[in-house]
Structure 1
Amino acid sequence: MKKAFSNELYVELQSKHIQERIDQFDNKLYLEFGGKLFDDNHASRVLPGFEPDSKLKMLLTFKDKVEVIIAVCAKDLERHKVRSDLGISYDDEVLRLIDEYHRVGLYVGSVAITQYRHQNAADTFKAKLENRGVKVFIHYPIEGYPHDVNHIISQDGFGKNDYIETSKPLVVVTAPGPGSGKMATCLSQLYHEHLHGVNAGYAKFETFPIWNLPLKHPVNLAYEAATIDLNDVNMIDPFHLEKYNETTVNYNRDIEIFPVLNAMFNKIFGESPYASPTDMGVNMAGYAIIDNEAAKDASCREIVRRYYHAEVDYLMGKINTKSLEKMQMLLSQANVDAKNRKCAIFAKEIAEARQVPACAIELNDGHLISGKTSSLLRASSAALLNALKYLAGIDQEIELISPDMLQSILSLKNNYLNIANPLLDIDEVLLTLTIASSSQPNAKQCLEVLPLLKDCEIHSTVILSKKDTETLRNLQMNLTCDPKSAGA
């Protein structure tokens, strides 16, 4: 992929802009941080050159000025909500985030448990955090939120919430996922800071949609494709257009809530610092795009991948018909055809010819490699081995791992672990390859080229196991599957 984005320019511009926003207020800014601070792989796919941790690098330029509040909703704790891309629960994700922030030297001041109604899971999690030395603050449901502004901005509204004492000029409010109460936490803090005589400010940091790209730009369409389960819709910001006669892009939830937010700002401060949802944002990503055509091409590829994900999610009951239809509409708006995914075409041809599940990989040089299900290997495992042989310059007929070794593992899974379908998964093949590498130069060569699989496209004609999916994600490969169960 051609580079579309300058990470260095982005970090520079973003840091400068956030500092300007801090200075605009009483040296105290609550920054609602949307999206992922770590592992923002969506952004790196649609904007080649965007590094998955670039937002973290930007925050590290404020290392001595920033502290983090993590908001988590008590309802999500109670129902054990899972972050789908990582497969871990929200409570575990909070703990992971705390560890990651500490690892890079960012100060996590506290955790806010929002929508608290004395849920057992919330009480248990609060105790767990406090036992680890983490400060926990409680925020309650507010009757009439968000429309009854007079009640919300009162002692019976935000006044009921714990006041989170912060010590740094920049307070980043983040969360394990959407709907965790980040905005409400920021607004509650503005109310309490005002009572304490501090003129704190609020800003919103969302990478997408990119406000200064056209509404139907593929980068912004790819954002809609990534959030079809949330039903987010990109829209022209009418408030910004009316005030400045300038066309900018925002999304429906921020536009719908802005009149209420504006009323809250007026109630707290006596006047609102913002004339539009776009004014509230601090995102500078659009200014760091250095190749618009490359960004369009990468985003169209992402929309196709999201279409395949949507078909699988629909089969699994994770999204409804309306969401799937929206995904089909986004394909049309981007003027792309999901049938043109090269690795998908190749995998389907192999599966049809051999009448078994197949998998195909499009390498970064454009070469296509396939694998099919055998008596020992899953199609995904076979395709990966074949790709490693190609990248290492090893003839496809050469065996990297002895059949006897593979058969022994298969026997263990079948006879002793009682696994019904014991074919070898990708991680098992890689582990076996690692063992073989101590005595087999070819196996060692294949392990050395593993990093070359990064950003390669891979398609399976059946839905892969959670374990295989996670391994491919760790290898940073772009997986899609046909909406067909492996057992069908």
Structure 2
Amino acid sequence: MDETEEDTKGCRQMKQLGFDNRKYLETQSAHIKERIAQFGDKLYLEFGGKLFDDHHASRVLPGFAPDSKIRMLCELKEDAEIVISICASDIEKNKIRGDLGITYDVDVLRLIDAFRSKGLYVGSVVVTQYAGQSAADAFKKRLEDLGMRVFLHYPIAGYPNNIPLIVSDDGYGKNEYIETSRPLVVVTAPGPGSGKMATCLSQLYHEYKRGVKAGYAKFETFPIWNLPLQHPVNLAYEAATADLNDVNMIDPFHLQAYGVTTVNYNRDVEIFPVLSAIFEKITGECPYKSPTDMGVNLAGSCIVDDAAVCAAARQEIVRRYYAALCDRRQGRCGDETVYKLELLMQQAKVDASIRPVVAAAGAVAEETGNPAAAIELPDGEVVTGKTTDLMGASSSTLLNALKRLAGIGHEHHLISREAIEPIQTVKVKHLGSANPRLHSDETLIALAISATTNPLARRALDKLSELRECEAHSSVILSPADSGTYAKLGMRLTCEPTYETNKLYHK
């Protein structure tokens, strides 16, 4: 069986670590504890980004462990209570978490289970920006049937500029008060734009009305306040939130108070007067002079190789660009998101040429007239694959990458045609598939079966873990089965914004 035509291009140095994760764990946890001690009865701590699996941070800061935040939080588990925030409109439009391929509402369920598995107490879920959305109603009922408490927060006219209305019984006062029982309340969410900060500020207002001394702090990894505004890591954060219209900006309050230039983003800057007004009502003065002050982020001080993180961040910007192109092709975003990412690429001085897999996959696709794919191995070697009668391009590329990692020659076939053809028969004749070619997950299962009798297949299978963090590219939009398999293997996939066929419906 001719699994694919293989191509290797170039050889670059293996990726360098640019971030000291051990230092980060030590200094960041100590800094959070200091902030907790600053307030009295209760602290609302907004946790931005992903707690369990912050893959964006691990991609742009090589060396950052995706679970660093949750490890720190576990040290405070006896005093901590989790509140998960989700925006009603995200429920309504089935917003998908790109790295996991699941909707935000489903991710709330996943997060609850994940927190509980670590021994952390999840007290409640708050649905923000609620305006009677039917999908939000259904989700609320589902959670309550599962024994979770759910609270509703509402839109406020003129938010965030109409401070007199916001800080009143007709503003935050209309929101349902989230009943909490522990001194540290961590407010987190499936993704950005879920209303975490507004939830914290609303709670401060209600605590004040009840005579409870409470404070607020923010733990947000990005943008990194002590890196330059146009630093690639900060630009990569803008790329990650391009659909939200977030913009990094100089913190004018910090500059005025201290004469020091720091970076924050527009929503924090816009909301700061509200935060300041709320604190003034609680204590008579705001403990913070700027949005930067209210943060507890020390990630910038743990960067040990700026060149490495710059290179990683530039790759992330290009990956986000391709993701937006595909989203636009699939009707999930508009031109504005793509235009913003094009501008960010210009600011970062990058284009698709920094991803060798793009040109490699394109060359094979042009040569064969069929979909092709490419994977860049840890040593910089690029392996390509083409579409065959037995396998899709992503499957053949995956097999070729494993063979190269295992030092197996191209002439050796890891899975026999005789083993694949019965699988194809089941797919087409019994499962109703129009595509007989094996997807990536089916190929791995076939490889695992072959490994029971074929030592070479076993050797290749043992190399799966080495694909983690490898760059990959497809000349067409992959099916969820293929893209999902690549994601589970930890590969960083991009696709051209085109389909394999001209059909209007694509599974």
Bin of the TM-score, shorter chain as denominator length: over 0.9
1:327-358, Cα deviation, whole Å (9 max, x unpaired): 22222222223223211111112222222211
Q: RMSD of aligned C-alpha atoms?
A: 1.7
Change over 3 Å in CA distance of 1:235–1:111 after alignment to 2: same
Distance 2:155 2:354 in 1: 48
Other structure's SS at 1:455 match: coil
1:44 partnered with 2:58? yes
Q: Letter of the aligned partner of 1:132 in structure 2?
A: L
Question: Which residue does the alignment assign to 2:349?
Answer: 335
Question: Which residue does the alignment assign to 2:326?
Answer: 312
Q: Letter of the aligned partner of 2:458 in structure 1?
A: K
Q: Which has the higher contact order (CA 8 A, sep 6+)?
A: 2
Other structure's SS at 1:293 match: helix
Change over 3 Å in CA distance of 1:13–1:404 after alignment to 2: same
Q: Letter of the aligned partner of 1:7 in structure 2?
A: N
Distance 2:282 2:167 in 1: 7
Other structure's SS at 1:171 match: strand
Distance 1:333 1:148 in 2: 34
Distance 1:104 1:87 in 2: 23
1:137-187, Cα deviation, whole Å (9 max, x unpaired): 233333443333233323333233332232222211011223322122111
Indicate the percent of aligned positions where both proteins have the same amino acid: 59
Other structure's SS at 1:467 match: helix
Contact 1:67 1:106 in 2 (8 A): yes
Distance 1:130 1:309 in 2: 35
Moved more, 199-208 or 82-91: 82-91
Contact 1:109 1:135 in 2 (8 A): yes
Question: Which residue does the alignment assign to 1:141?
Answer: 155
Matches within 5 A, 1:205-216: 205-216=219-230
Q: Letter of the aligned partner of 1:173 in structure 2?
A: V
Matches within 5 A, 1:159-174: 159-174=173-188
Change over 3 Å in CA distance of 1:31–1:426 after alignment to 2: same
Contact 1:401 1:433 in 2 (8 A): yes
Distance 1:212 1:257 in 2: 20
Distance 2:54 2:465 in 1: 19
Contact 2:223 2:248 in 1 (8 A): yes
Contact 2:193 2:244 in 1 (8 A): no
The correspondence for 1:284, drawn from 285, 298, 304, is 298
Distance 2:142 2:98 in 1: 23
Moved more, 221-230 or 242-251: 221-230
Contact 1:153 1:268 in 2 (8 A): no
Change over 3 Å in CA distance of 1:196–1:113 after alignment to 2: same
Cα deviation, residue 297, structure 1: 1.4
Distance 1:91 1:334 in 2: 34
Distance 1:207 1:120 in 2: 34
Cα deviation, residue 213, structure 1: 0.4
Distance 2:381 2:157 in 1: 59
Distance 1:307 1:121 in 2: 30
Q: Letter of the aligned partner of 1:26 in structure 2?
A: G
Contact 2:85 2:199 in 1 (8 A): yes
Distance 1:251 1:4 in 2: 24
Contact 1:22 1:169 in 2 (8 A): no
The correspondence for 1:326, drawn from 326, 329, 340, is 340
Moved more, 11-20 or 83-92: 83-92
Other structure's SS at 1:219 match: helix
Give TM-score, length-normalised by structure 2: 0.92
Other structure's SS at 1:480 match: strand
Moved more, 111-120 or 451-460: 111-120
1:28 partnered with 2:42? yes
Q: Letter of the aligned partner of 2:188 in structure 1?
A: T
Q: Letter of the aligned partner of 2:208 in structure 1?
A: H
Change over 3 Å in CA distance of 1:159–1:328 after alignment to 2: closer
Count of matched residue pairs: 488
The correspondence for 1:462, drawn from 476, 484, 487, is 476
Question: Which residue does the alignment assign to 2:497?
Answer: 483
Distance 1:42 1:168 in 2: 30
Other structure's SS at 2:77 match: coil
Contact 2:372 2:474 in 1 (8 A): yes
1:176-233, Cα deviation, whole Å (9 max, x unpaired): 2233221221112111222232221111121111000011111111111212111211
Matches within 5 A, 1:392-471: 392-471=406-485
Distance 2:464 2:356 in 1: 22
Change over 3 Å in CA distance of 1:298–1:377 after alignment to 2: same
Contact 2:451 2:458 in 1 (8 A): yes
1:156 partnered with 2:180? no
Moved more, 240-249 or 221-230: 221-230
Other structure's SS at 2:244 match: coil
Change over 3 Å in CA distance of 1:141–1:229 after alignment to 2: closer
Other structure's SS at 2:81 match: strand
Q: Which runs of 4+ in 1 moved over 6 A?
A: none
Cα deviation, residue 372, structure 1: 0.1
Other structure's SS at 2:374 match: strand
Q: Letter of the aligned partner of 2:317 in structure 1?
A: I
| Unmatched 5+ stretches in structure 2 | 1-14, 503-507
The correspondence for 1:348, drawn from 354, 358, 362, is 362
Question: Which residue does the alignment assign to 2:262?
Answer: 248
Distance 1:352 1:401 in 2: 27
Q: Letter of the aligned partner of 1:197 in structure 2?
A: G
